[in-house]
Chains A and B, each alone.
Chain A
Amino acid sequence: MTSEAIRNEWYPVALASQLGPEGRDTRLLGEPIRVDWAAQGRPRVRAADGREMATRLRYGHIWACPGTPSRELFDIPEADQPGRRLVDVGVVRVKCSPLRAVENFLDIAHFPFVHTDILGAEPHTEVGKYDVAIREEVDEVWATKVHFYQPQAAKSAAGGITTEYMYRVPAPTVSILYKTCPPRPGEWDVITLFVQPLEENLCEVWPWMALFDDETPMTDLIHFQQTIFLQDRSILENQLPRLLPLDPGMEIPTRADLTSVAYRRWLKRRGYTYGAQLVAA
């Protein structure tokens, strides 16, 4: 049985647009669950014993809390902003800790090597100083003023630009990226990674986006993000140990990794250990 701190979080369990009348049998935190529609288009998530969990239908996905929600599902105000296109990217299964999937999403230094000529390229490898904070009032991890050179920053970007990012972790298995929006200066594109922990070392990842882009066909937007995530997948399945080490000693962070350091510290402080290991080797 997992701890309260783990059970009282919100988790994505299905993509609403893909959930048919037949429902979806899946897993959450190592236990089987069933996701389907109750009457009036209300999503329903049940444990193996038939017990119904708290659910929300938000950001294109169905969310469930196996315990008692410690707080309301996090807010993404941009999701309701007129003019944005909401992109359901779909699910990809990865044999890795759900926390490693989130941490990789918070990382920019790998862009030149893993997303070569798309999100980064040598010799533009330097990660400058940026700000990281655990915002106590909302209990979220935030990284701001992150700048990085990108050869092709988004599907709508032609040529290289220096892109600015903000990263936000509002829940242990969720990361939200805010990124310079080439067609709409002053606004941020929103790209999220919603991670469903099936087991401690197996997860399903649901990228989702809210973009200002009226030009690019929807399928091209989906394919761009799938390309990026599938490039990450071959990394995530080959990190050792499989579980994310929360204590220092096993891995060596540098200044570029401050977001990851804050994320691990924040997880440890909350007692969020599903997919993590505490003791350094």
Chain B
Amino acid sequence: MWTPVALSRDVPPLVVLPVVAGGRELALWRSASGRIAAWADRCPHRGMRLSHGFVRGEALSCIYHGWSYGAAGNCLRIPAHPDLEPPETIRVAVHVAAEAGGLIWVAPSAPEAPPPDPGALQPLRSLTVEAGTAAVLSLAGLAGDTLARGHLAGVEVTVAVQPIGPARCALHVLTGAAGAAERIALSRELDALRRRAEAGEMAA
């Protein structure tokens, strides 16, 4: 089961950030060469969140002691012991991450089908709403679940929905609208939608 966690555009090379997918806390990061990865957000050494770490080249390093990890989640380097070859057993739990249509998707293990492709659209923005997924979608008048479609501020939108908790979700919004004025109006409409959803307004 794929969960959308970010717009590709918002995770350029060398960026690492925390995301939640399927109830798990993950560190999402992109290597210098552009490879996207989603790992358990915890360094096996002392439990520090890896999402606070830093990316150099193709490795993610923990901010606490600089332990760095390669593509398979295997420990590459322990700076306190520069001559030590880290044992194979030191590993971060790796999830599957993939990109499609300007979205980053993650899954606990490789699903049979590739992630849904929203088609040729432009990313607008992601925003987190303190309200449940179903309530937000019905208030917005959008149809669908993981990829919901409809109109907001008079333009066509596709929204990838990331459930974060019973009363929290993130909306990753794509649109065909190209003009700056339309895009700004849509962005403001999303803020307005969030205000309404968080005020407990229900769909008519």
Asked whether any CB of A lies within 8 Å of a CB of B in the complex, the reply is: yes
Report A-chain residues with C-beta under 8 Å of the C-beta of B84: 254
Alpha-carbon distance between A126 and B82 when the two chains are bound, in angstroms: 6
Question: Which residues of B (82-120) have their CB < 8 Å from a CB of A?
Answer: 82, 84, 90
| Chain B residues, Cβ within 8 Å of A4 | none
The chain B residue with its CB closest to the CB of A235 is B64
Most buried by A among B44, B64, B65, B78: B65
Known: A235-B63, A238-B49, A240-B49. A254 touches B44 (CB 8 A): no
B65 touches A109 (CB 8 A): yes
In angstroms, Cα B81 to Cα A234, docked, is: 24
Also in contact, A254 and B52, with CB within 8 A (given A110-B64, A125-B66, A241-B47): no
Q: Is B48 an interface residue (CB 8 A)?
A: yes
A89-114 contacts to B (CB < 8 Å)? 107, 109-110, 112-114
B residues 126-157 touching A (CB-CB < 8 Å): none
Q: Are B80 and A113 in touch, CB under 8 angstroms?
A: no
Residue among B42, B45, B64 making CB contact with A114, cutoff 8 Å: B64
Residue in chain A with minimal CB distance to B45: A252
Is A250 part of the contact surface with B, judged by Cβ < 8 Å? yes
- Judged by a CB distance under 8 angstroms, whether A162 is at the interface is no
Q: How far is the CB of A113 from chain B (nearest CB, A)?
A: 5
What mask results when residues 110 to 123 of chain A are scored 1 for a CB within 8 Å of chain B, else 0? Answer: 10111000000010
B79 adjacent to chain A (CB < 8 Å)? yes
Find A251's partner among B45, B49, B78 (CB 8 Å cutoff): B45
Chain A residues numbered 221-263 whose CB sits less than 8 Å from any CB in chain B: 234-235, 238-241, 250-256
Evaluate contact between A254 and B66: CB separation under 8 angstroms: no
Shortest distance between the CB of B67 and any CB in chain A (Å): 9
Contact B63 A240 (CB under 8 A): no
With A112-B66, A125-B66 in contact, do A256 and B48 touch (Cβ < 8 Å)?
no
A-B contact pairs, 7 of them (CB 8 A): A112-B79, A113-B65, A114-B63, A238-B49, A239-B47, A240-B41, A256-B80
B residues near A, CB below 8 A? 41-42, 44-49, 52, 63-66, 78-82, 84, 90
Instruction: Give 5 new A-B contacts, CB below 8 A, not counting A112-B66, A112-B79, A251-B44.
Output: A114-B63, A235-B52, A235-B64, A241-B47, A251-B46
